[in-house]
A and B are shown apart, each in its own frame.
Chain A
């Protein structure tokens, strides 16, 4: 195993609520399986640190970014969540105004139905977004293909192999979590990443 650098890091800018959790888990696994490392502000746990600082540091360390701006439903108080579009704006800003390696940034923008973003964030006009239709398989396939083309790495495995290994992993996850001493229903982001790293290390050995 090797330590990840800027060119390996993928910033995951997706909703982290319970309904989205299965998709996040799968995204994290598959980013790792493609040879990259997912990064999120959830990975940092310093209470004295400002949340926005964590996010900016994360974006600064990542060449790639997956931004799901599809979560535009109103909550019980009648407001949508703006975190994802805001963070993707920081990512775009870093690419535009950042120096050296920041200019190489590459983003995958997800929405539920193609071009609906024009209704609520028309400044993105001209950006080629991808629609996942809330279907995990579609999202994962698009992430895999995007990583393959944007990084030009030839080592990225085919979708079917990744899917097959993920299915095996998710079947084993409750037992692994229990043996490791973590609650499978509430695994912290960093612990989940560590389990994924070890499981992939085993499966590709």
Chain B
């Protein structure tokens, strides 16, 4: 088990890490997701011991490892920069940790060959083993760096954006291969990613880091379904979640949204909300476009733009000073400035605090059309 307790790291005036608490169980993959500059790499470097924290404690299997130098910690750290030996072959790079074991334990050459070949198969690199690093593409180098970590049986896996430079097809398969491998190894693993979606798909548990602090941690399903703050909701929602200012008024409660003349009756599903200003988060799936005049909970709005994906058309619609996104069938054409009618009835909404922290207050449903 890996535990980070109250880890702080300051660079001059800036709190790079403002008190990080994380627990990663054996065999668990924790995805650490957040925008660049949030502190993901710094957290990994502190956990690996190559960067010392100003405050806090790091425990591995209940032992304080803070005083143990990094080369004695038996950690497999995959750096975003790969840090490979350019003059060596792929095989020799991957075999390196076994030939120069920091633990001092010797590994037989036959065993080295067996392990490197096995890992190379997982990473689809069998044919590249004799190539030199300088002749490889970025994606291939990234796989060598991963391979070098996997050949060992370390105490900890720390993977810094391990698949960010691979093409789409390989990324899909490697997510699966890596997850299976790591589960079988049964060690704690932290996997960082700037991509919330990647975090959802690889994690047993996901922690979202923003400006040096963990804002939320939980299962992917939990984080996706109940984002703790506006920032978390933005990081994991695609298409982007619409955030509209509004106000909750009693009796009702009723939701008044800026730019919409009618109030909506709310039924609260989770949490609670006091009357007052709030921010409303609305995912693209919650709303639909309908025929004009078909419903009392529908309002008119103007198309800002449309985007196609292969699965749906994402229509951005202006509401007050903000906008929301709505899904329409694939390849339906919408023109900017075109008038459409948005159905709000039945929509699932997140209500966030209007203040600085913008934390989730409650989840609610706008009363379905026809029940007004």
Q: Do A and B bind each other?
A: no
Show the binding face of B for A, using Cβ within 8 Å: none
